[in-house]
């Protein structure tokens, strides 16, 4: 009986620690980190995104309806971090890619050229709003939205990191 009591007490203590850790993480302002082959690594909060020009992309979601996503063109964020873009995106630099990571471990890849206006007219944004409201907790606070891509697989939710690397 005493052994069962100790096991129950340890279980409650462990659950309490998990609950406290989750509460602390919830109160902490979430960020997205830009790192790798950059001149200036960045760690951006929602308020930092307001310092960039805002863009809107209309995209159908799983519900089949068009939604207006607002945020910052991803290339503008990369440019602020000092990523090679524009006239310098040639030669070896064309082997660079952008890996986007989500809080649940999901990852997607973009060739750096896919994000550069010298190579494409497609708009890819780091969104923080949908239909004029903040993204839902399960989607945000940051989400990549890819304009006109047939499948939404690279419209990654809960973005935590953007890493620029050379292909090997």
Q: Are residues 11 and 36 in the same domain?
A: no
Quick one: pLDDT at residue 29?
83
Q: Are residues 43 and 24 in the same domain?
A: no
Tokens linked to 17: 């620690």
Rounded-to-integer distance, Cα 2 and Cα 71, Å: 57
Q: Are residues 24 and 58 in the same domain?
A: no
Q: Are residues 17 and 43 in the same domain?
A: no
Q: Are residues 141 and 60 in the same domain?
A: yes
Greatest CA separation found in the chain?
Answer: 74
Quick one: pLDDT at residue 60?
87
Domain that holds residue 6: 1-29
Reported as a single tens digit per residue, the pLDDT across 41-98 is 999 999 999 999 999 999 988 788 999 999 999 999 999 999 999 999 999 999 999 9
Percent of the chain with pLDDT over 70: 83
Q: Are residues 52 and 72 in the same domain?
A: yes
Reported as a single tens digit per residue, the pLDDT across 11-28 is 444 433 333 333 333 456
Quick one: pLDDT at residue 70?
98
Number of domains in the chain: 2
Q: Are residues 133 and 90 in the same domain?
A: yes
Q: Are residues 130 and 111 in the same domain?
A: yes
Q: Are residues 64 and 120 in the same domain?
A: yes
Which domain CATH number covers 138?
3.90.420.10
Q: Are residues 59 and 17 in the same domain?
A: no
């Amino acid at each position: 009986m005493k052994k069962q009591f100790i096991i129950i007490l340890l279980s409650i203590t462990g659950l309490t620690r998990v609950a406290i850790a989750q509460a602390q993480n919830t109160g902490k302002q979430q960020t997205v980190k830009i790192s790798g082959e950059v001149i200036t690594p960045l760690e951006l909060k929602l308020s930092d995104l307001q310092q960039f020009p805002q863009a809107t992309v209309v995209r159908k979601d799983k519900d089949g309806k068009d939604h207006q996503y607002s945020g910052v063109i991803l290339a503008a964020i990369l440019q602020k971090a000092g990523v090679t873009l524009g006239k310098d995106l040639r030669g070896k630099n064309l082997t660079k890619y952008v890996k986007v990571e989500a809080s649940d471990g999901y990852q997607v890849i973009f060739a750096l050229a896919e994000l550069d206006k010298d190579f494409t007219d497609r708009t890819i944004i780091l969104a923080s709003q949908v239909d004029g409201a903040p993204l839902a907790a399960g989607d945000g606070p940051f989400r990549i939205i890819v304009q006109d891509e047939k499948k939404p697989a690279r419209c990654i939710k809960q973005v935590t990191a953007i890493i620029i690397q050379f292909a090997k």
